[in-house]
Amino acid sequence: MRRTSVSSDENLDGKLFVQFVALIFLSYIQKAMSDNDLFKSYTLQELLDELDIIERFEQTGKRHHIGEVTKKQSHLYECLGVSAPS
């Protein structure tokens, strides 16, 4: 977590809550990476960077559209136990 400079106690509570939820997600990803031997090929940051490439496009009044999901990304989602975006 970076600086905790906030303008109110409520903002601090919100910031701490978001950081706590993010920590839970990171712990889950690290465990899944360990269980599937993904640390042999990726660091945590490299895996997150690989999945960060997927884009979501939205237009007002229309359905959203997901950018291309590669085979490599689909495999990573499968290893993490999460369905790939569609």
The model's pLDDT over 18-54, given as tens digits with 9 standing for 90+, comes to 999 999 999 999 999 999 999 999 999 999 999 999 9
Structural domain contains residue 86: no
Q: Is 25 exposed, middle or buried (0-12, 13-18, 19+ CB in 10 A)?
A: exposed
Q: What is the pLDDT of residue 39?
A: 96
Structural domain contains residue 3: no
Instruction: Answer yes or no: is pLDDT of 84 > 80.
Output: yes
Question: Structural domain tally of the chain?
Answer: 1
Structural domain contains residue 85: no
Report which DSSP code applies to 83. P
**Residue from 36, 39, 41 nearest 81 by CA:** 36
**Residue from 39, 40, 47, 35 nearest 72 by CA:** 47
User: What is the pLDDT confidence band of residue 9, given thresholds at 50, 70 and 90?
Assistant: confident
Instruction: Answer yes or no: is pLDDT of 8 > 90.
Output: no
Structural domain contains residue 60: yes
Task: Give the pTM.
Answer: 0.75
Residue 43: give the domain boundaries. 9-80
